[in-house]
Amino acid sequence: MFKKYKGKNVLIVGLGKTGFALINFFNQIQCNIHVTDIKPIFDLNKEVKKLKKIEPKPEMTLGEHKEADFINADIIVYSPAINPKMPQLERARQAGKEVYSEFSFCAKFCDKPIIAVGGSKGRTTIAHMIGFMIKNDKKMFSLVEPTTIHLSIILLIPKKTKWNMLLLKSLQENYKPLKTLNHISQLSLT
């Protein structure tokens, strides 16, 4: 499924926990990785030290988002905290680049149905209740909570799993492409 990305130039926008999960994922499929973060290098000391330990070392642009990084990438994946209407992302889309949020990338390539549970009251309880019903139906499922496990991990979950359940962050809950994917059921609790 991901063979078409092997050797491609991937730009990861945002160097938080999600960015590192994406680096790990794209390293496994042998992509050329470049990361960019608007924060200056002195605000990212821990992250830079961590990046220097990764092999092969990703290229870095810190303190700014260079237009060339976006145009030179074959695929761009951005973290949940990044504004999807950021000018560089818009120009990359206009240039015909593949541009995804972490969530939309994972949803597009996940080959199993996804139940997305969002909201602020009771989402973990509801997700566990749904999981209990799925298990009672003798089906395997995985529960992915983005605050602890990043969505790119659903692409690496064993094939025996029949369902993926996601607990959405509020930023992901209102993401429009989520509502257009037909293999995602979304439940929002407020």
Under CATH, what is the fold of the domain 110-189? Answer: UDP-N-acetylmuramoyl-L-alanine:D-glutamate ligase (3.40.1190)
Its CATH architecture, for the domain 3-105, is: 3-Layer(aba) Sandwich (3.40)
pLDDT of residue 129: 78
Computed from CA positions of residues 67, 71, 72, 77, in that sequence, does the dihedral angle turn out positive or negative? Answer: positive
CB 140 within 8 A of CB 161: yes
pLDDT(184) > 50: no
Q: Quote the CA–CA distance of 125 and 114 in Å, as a whole number.
A: 17
pTM of the complete model beyond 0.85: no
What is the amino acid identity at position 18? T
Q: Give residue-wise pLDDT tens across range 99-133.
A: 998 878 877 777 666 666 766 677 777 777 777 77
Cα distances from 37 to residues 60, 63, 66, 109, in angstroms, run 8, 6, 10, 25
Q: Give residue-wise pLDDT tens across range 153-167.
A: 555 555 555 655 555
The CATH 3.40.50.720 portion of the chain extends over: 3-105
CB 5 within 8 A of CB 26: yes
pLDDT of residue 180: 43
